[in-house]
Amino acid sequence: MVGRSALPVYGCRYSRKDYTQPQLFARFVLRQLLRTDYRGVVTLVGEWSELRQTLGLSKVPHYSSLAYASRRILAGADKKGLSVTSRRRLSNEPAPLA
């Protein structure tokens, strides 16, 4: 899994440690792939037991956990020099009008 090699396990040493950043990133990618919102991904993960097992989830996160994690992950990518085009694609930002 790409998230395991690119992200630290937890975003903060004081986190509750319910979900790892790679687990949250996998759901973030799934949201982009399926072109759905955070609630849609939570519903899908809740109904798909094989996916939960593959991601190593014992419970399904609230959609806000995914939203906060995506902001944190994109902010980290920004610090590492991710291009504006890539950030826009990941966050669904519209392209600026010319």
- Residues 88, 63 contacting (CB under 8 angstroms): no
In a domain, 59, yes or no: yes
Tell me how many domains the chain contains: 1
Q: Which of 14-28, 46-60, 78-92 has the highest mean pLDDT?
A: 46-60
Residue 6: the pLDDT is 61
Q: Is residue 56 part of a domain?
A: yes
Classified as helix, coil or strand, 62 is coil
The answer to whether 61 and 18 are in contact (CB under 8 A) is: yes
Structure-token pair, residue 51: 């996916």
Q: How far apart are CA 44 and CA 66, in angstroms?
A: 13
Containing domain of residue 64, as a range?
19-81
Q: What is the pLDDT of residues 31-57, one digit of tens each?
A: 888 898 989 988 998 998 998 898 888
Does 2 reside within a domain?
Answer: no
The answer as to whether 74 is a domain residue is yes
Report yes or no on 94 lying in a domain. Answer: no
SS3 per residue for 9-21: CCCCCCCCCCCCH
Number of residues assigned to the chain: 98
